[in-house]
Amino acid sequence: MNYVTRTITLTSERHFGRRIPSTALGIVLETISDSVVRSVSMAFRGRSSVDGPRPSRIEAAADIRFMEHRGADESTLVFEIPTLGEALNELYDPHKNRRSLPDPDQTGFELLAKVVGEVAANNVDSDQFDRNMLKYLMKFRFALKRSFREIRFDTIDASESIATIDSHWIEIAREIRSATPPPRRVRIVGTLDMLRVSTQGFELRLDDGESVPGVLLKGSIVDVAEVLNRRVMIVGRAIYRASGRILRIDADSIAITDSTSSVWTKIPAPEASRSELRRRAAERRSRDGAATLIGSWPGDESDQEIDRALEEIG
């Protein structure tokens, strides 16, 4: 497989150049590697998490090789990585796939840079990232806190604005993640409209004509090929954007159904996000002193803790 070169530039008030502190460099290298895998998975599967069955092609597209670091003031990290067209050539076969795909000359670094740009633009309706990805990308704050002012992605597309992670970017990512509704367990009925064997993906056509993408997490998507274009029930979790719109379905199972009930044929509205729960609780505290029930929230509470606290105040 052929590889191309991509670079990432680190800036610091201390002008490290080639003499980068090893701990901070280690954080960046580890986080970059996993972030690229998640970006490729998000772009081709619609899901950033890489647990469960992971298509080998996704791993191939995120095969990063760290080559060297250089610089006299800024620190430049040099990597090699295959292009998307090289690593995922089967997906770019026009006879097998008619989806809109990223430029085959791009790499996982361009996909990651696009995610960074979408977050910087505060695009709460983006399909380039999900809640889990934002949580992971916020790990860059450890490198920023320790040593660096910003992390810049040097991509091949000069028409794109420069993708940079800094402390302001981390705050935007935190706010978007907090505003994103949590996943919700669902049963959804519709017609299985499309399968993507290479990525474990599918599309479900609802009765109102809306198409919802999804990923089968358990088993092989090949095993459900016989129910293609049949009415099915999908059991799993609905994953939402920060805007509240559906992003995808993470399916545990897909099975034929004869259900004609309208109960399962619509995507349920998302539950309240963490930020919305905090806002409601703050309003309730100011109205009836519910702070005695909840106490103060430092910002690191879990969704379950917030849910329990809100239940207590009725």
Are residues 111 and 67 both part of a single domain? yes
Tell me the pLDDT tens digit for each residue of 4-15. 999 999 999 888
Q: Which domain holds residue 295?
A: 274-312
Tell which of 120, 150, 179 closes a domain. 179
* 96 is a domain residue: yes
Tell me the pLDDT tens digit for each residue of 169-216. 999 999 999 999 999 999 999 999 999 887 889 999 999 999 999 999
Total domains present in the chain? 3
Could you tell me the strand order of the sheet in which 75-81 lies?
65-70, 75-81, 4-11, 150-154, 163-165
Are residues 55 and 199 both part of a single domain? no
d(CA 210, CA 197): 22
Whether pLDDT at 225 is above 50: yes
* 269 is a domain residue: no
Tell me the pLDDT tens digit for each residue of 136-172. 999 999 989 878 999 999 877 655 568 999 999 999 9
d(CA 147, CA 10): 9
Are residues 281 and 230 both part of a single domain? no
Strands (E), the chain: 4-11, 65-70, 75-81, 150-154, 163-165, 184-196, 201-205, 211-216, 231-240, 246-256
Report yes or no on whether pTM surpasses 0.85.
no
Are residues 21 and 153 both part of a single domain? yes
Tell me which residue of 112, 47, 41, 109 sits closest to 80, measured CA to CA: 109
Tell me which residue of 9, 26, 30, 8 sits closest to 146, measured CA to CA: 26
Whether pLDDT at 56 is above 90: no
